[in-house]
A = this chain, B = another copy of it.
């Protein structure tokens, strides 16, 4: 692997330097992070700056994320002039809040002014209302108006994500007109990949990739180059839907329109890539009851989120424990039941979680709709039947060999088969029902499914054992 593989470099001379600071996965090496923090601690900001200067803004942001909370302030002091708008745009929300809190409103306003609307909004939206007002007051009227407009849209909506700087041209222009316009207007954004063609009412009528413009003679009309099939994004659409739409139609950028269909902004795919990652990742941590699961979240918030989930689970396990309590007599007379019953419930829980994970993903990616819910239910039923038979037979034979009680082994096998089927059906029906009720299935399904498989596992195993007189 040649050195040029390793990182974006700021001129060939610094190439060795930057390549040395990243490991094969593009992560800053621990030695490098320690070297910077040691320089800061030794009160040698010049040395720290010399180390950090060649880094890409995304890597400087990573450096702050990898630095312990209490060392971030001194690090920021040492690197003030490197800590520019691009670095803030790349930074984790919680880490950014940490640093922003330490800055004066005028400094925040200067940083926000350099950013695209969507990045500036991301910085300002989480501030306290008073601080937000102070920062907005310190901004230029134009920037301020753009940000205030964005803040007027709901959180996590297209309106917050979009940038207002875009290139839109009238239908009757030629390719040459468009190129002259772009060359003649220095104030236009340089960060765009498509040009929008609009009618006199500023409604988008077509989209034109820059490559098509470059490949077409100057005298051709824009209306003849543009693609009329457009994917428009309503300004109040949720960011998760925006991300799915970008993915489904393989978009690079898309026009954002208001309720009247007028072009009000543009979303580009680089802003969407973060959201896809984030939304898909949140499903894992939500499914396991860890909320958003951001490692930079304040610890008090993390504890509250997780304890709430554990307490709900505590309720579920107490419910299933009360089932066990009903059979205290049988267990007292035949204590081996107590050793086998957690196996039945645990395997039901595992099988249910498998189904749940698959169904939650399929719902989130629009693969599971009402068209194929019944098919999915039948699919999981067949899988559960196969799994239940495999586990029931192997578990039954194993327990027979170990414990030598054929009746106990038959009860054990039958309850495993039964609980596997319960797990498969509940694992589909719970998230589907929650989704229909507009409740996030990733957040709420798991506790219900595992409580049900616990209860059904204990009840079927102990109940069958009692019916067959095993503990009498």
Contact = CB atoms under 8 A, between A and B. Distances in A.
Contact of A290 (B245, B358, B398): B358
Interface in A370-418: 370-372, 375-376, 379, 382-383, 386-387, 390-391, 394-395, 398
Contacts of A249: 8, 56, 58
A322 B342 CA distance: 11
A284 B361 contact: yes
A130 interface: no
B313 A454 contact: no
B182 A215 contact: yes
Contact of A361 (B233, B257, B285, B371): B285
A414 to B, nearest CB: 16
B295 A376 contact: yes
Contacts of A47: none
Interface string A225-252: 0001111111001000100111111111
Interface string A163-196: 0000000000000000100110000101111000
A213 B390 CA distance: 64
Contacts of A285: 354, 357-358, 361
A303 B383 contact: yes
Interface in A63-108: 65-66, 68, 90, 92
Contacts of A23: 369
A318 interface: yes
B369 A66 contact: yes
A23 B353 CA distance: 29
A466 interface: no
Nearest to A352: B288
Contacts of A341: 338, 342
B360 A284 contact: yes
A358 B284 CA distance: 8
A211 B193 contact: yes
A362 interface: yes
A361 B230 CA distance: 35
Residue from A306, A329, A346, A450 with most neighbouring chain B CB atoms (10 Å): A346
A12 B10 CA distance: 48
Interface in A6-42: 7-12, 23, 25-30, 33-34
Contacts of A154: none
A317 interface: yes
B252 A354 contact: no
Contact of A343 (B4, B290, B314, B368): B314
A241 B280 contact: no
Given A340-B321, A342-B317, A369 B214 contact: no
Contacts of A370: 30
Contacts of A231: 7-8
A233 to B, nearest CB: 8
23 contacts: A26-B366, A30-B371, A33-B371, A56-B249, A68-B372, A190-B215, A247-B274, A250-B273, A285-B357, A288-B350, A289-B354, A290-B355, A293-B357, A306-B351, A307-B390, A309-B354, A310-B350, A311-B391, A314-B394, A320-B342, A322-B339, A328-B336, A332-B333
